[in-house]
Structure 1
């Protein structure tokens, strides 16, 4: 490097170089003589995110529930005959959970940034107790009641219909996804050296 002329009447640092972990300061004074001061440089340690620490933070849970909601489905059964009619109505109610399994979350790290990839939330559980279903009926005098197996079949249809309604509720899944992101942030941000989290959707 070409050195510029020192300012007249003052001492100036003409060059500063770092080589092999040593600062070499060459100072030119007014007398034109050079004096080299050699000073050891302390080792500068980079502080990056430890990927395993992030994984450990997530593994404090087996799943992340993004949304809990209620669901209801009513099934009707009609059988009309010349000797009498019978009508049944079964109203099944319960709750559901949408979320993501921790095993489905992929984590990569770069410097102080954590990249998190997870799939769209899915149905984690649906709880619609058969014994909590409300049953109403209108059975003619000459007609027999439905059997337990037939009532179970009605309940099965109600439960299947409820699950289908959950799957078609896009607003519920969007809310669940946003909630899952917030929960992941709350788990990862306290990890040492984490400065930024980026989310991507699994393909």
Structure 2
């Protein structure tokens, strides 16, 4: 099974991601070293919390350029997916990695859809992709988020939360999952296995 590097930059729960990957037989390296990131076989960018704090951590650690230049498979998870986009309207606005066009916006609350969107939602597959091989349309995934990425050409799968939630996105060698695959049972394990099997 493949080797995978998980960014441990202080803005994500890396332990659960690490354990999920190790259950699949992967060799996992946790690091915030820019040289190790640049040399990784494949890279996972986790994230929880505020986009501004996460981007400040990436900048302080010298990780923004190695991530932007990374030429092999890269997967952003939860906030990590959002960081792949250009900007977020969080706070006073946050400049992000700019790898996928568009602005991340706050979810609008409603009586039947409180914010954050927290819990299990079904996935609707939009475009075929190696990351989604073997995944059934209607598979369940576990979400925790209060902001949502723009729905556009990069969207591979959606969830419905009163508005379309781009649940899986891709641009070139960069993928993102808005949900937590490490907490999404069989569907999440399938996606992580597919990521480990992508050609590096």
Normalised TM-score (structure 1): 0.17
* TM-score, with length taken from structure 2: 0.17
User: Quick check: which one's strand share is greater?
Assistant: 1
Compare CA radii of gyration and give the structure with the larger one: 1
